[in-house]
Structure 1
Amino acid sequence: MSTAGSLYVIGLGPGDPKMLTEQAKIALRQSQVVIGYQGYFASVQDIVQEKECIALPLTQETQRAQVAVDRALQGEAVCVISSGDAGIYGMASLVLEVLEQRTANVPCPEVAVVPGVSAVNACASLLGAPIGHDFAVISLSDLLTPWELIEKRLKAAAEADFITVLLNPKSIRRHWQYGRAQEILAEHRAPETPVGLVRNAYRSDQSVTTTTIAHMTEPMVDMLTTVIVGNSQTRCWQSRMVTPRGYPVAETP
């Protein structure tokens, strides 16, 4: 370990302890300080119970990153935890940005971003094989990104026939954006295009629903839901979504 300490940013996966990678477990065991949102600690309690755990609420992501960098610069082994994959809408980019600012003239800690199973992977597996070809992932939250830019990306993905994964589709304060996303996608997809909705993947209250683009706004959708909209080739088979990659499939003699 360098004199400046070490800093891990890890993805915990969707919440099931069995989906935590071995690399993430090693990083947690080697850390002295673990920093994250309170809800993230439950799935790793058996690993971190003897460590210093610092829980900061949602909306305090910047503070989490700053505390982590401060402690690593003091020579400690620090771990920042994210749900899913830390590099996909997670803490990795923010931690590295803070680190970049703070280490211009001082030694940089040893840094490692440890991948995890993202919501995209987890939800796709429960739906079958919906992202077997090119796909785009778009968050409908306009908290950090202007809606005009989100809509521009939705239109581009729809026009290019990308399978489209929608994260953060709806919240109490954001209720119309999901309907607008449906309108944009429906302009370039047939009404019967398959759509999968997964809520709380690999957790005790998991739910998996398949519907069509014409009816995708009818099931309950919230911030814990991931929506996967198929492309023009996606079809349903035995309640599973399948997007062909393009390989020839030989017929059985």
Structure 2
Amino acid sequence: MTYQQFLAMVARIADTDRDTAERASQAVLTVLGRHLSRGEAADVLESLPPELQAYVWSAGSPERFPPEEFLRRVAEREGTDTLTAERHARAVFTALRQATGPDEYEDVRAQLGRHYAALLDADALVPDLDTVVGTVAAKAGIDDDAARTLVEAVLETLAERIAPGDSDDLAVRLPVALHPPLHRGRDAGEQSRRMGPEEFVVRVARRAGLQPDEAARRIPTVFATLRPVVGDEFFDIIVQLPDGYRPLLGAARTG
């Protein structure tokens, strides 16, 4: 793949111009190079056009950081926000997969880890943040800012209630911007795992700045949005919740 072909693919997928695609490619590959081992970085750069090879190489020891930090660093280098950085990163990784081939790309995936799935698989069924937030906003009849606050409140509280491993599985199916509330809830401790539905509503209300009765009406819109997005993982979650949660889930339970 030539340099111009690489940039053209990034520009097309990210729906942007060539100059922005160039900056995005440089930023993403630089941050990627900080994460990879020297051996893997050397393997990757051999597959890239000469104009991009130097961005992958790093003389320092490899760092390990989550996808949220990856995007923060990309955004900082590009001079943009993390949502734009996420769109650009997906495009660059798609071009990288074409340049390196499937075997080498799998080695990159193995070093980054499963939580990078939303970035590494542009064709995966991982929605962007605007889609999730916009769907909740439409269902709840609220604006996007209120919808995002509600989604984050529900996810953090849900992660407090379910098993940590299921919280991590849920994060893989959601945009990177929604990982932090899941991580906060996951790390809350075992005591929260016994939370009943009334306490669930109270915590969501507090985090979203709502009255409990208003939170109880809006919570089902979040679950109704999550269900088709996360697929089978949704059922792995609801089987952990007692029958008292049924009105909050937005649909009858099965089994």
Could you say which TM-score interval applies, normalised by the shorter chain? under 0.3
- The structure carrying a bigger helix percent of its residues is 2
What is the TM-score normalised by the length of structure 1? 0.27
- The structure carrying a bigger strand percent of its residues is 1
Higher relative contact order (CA 8 A, sep 6+): 1
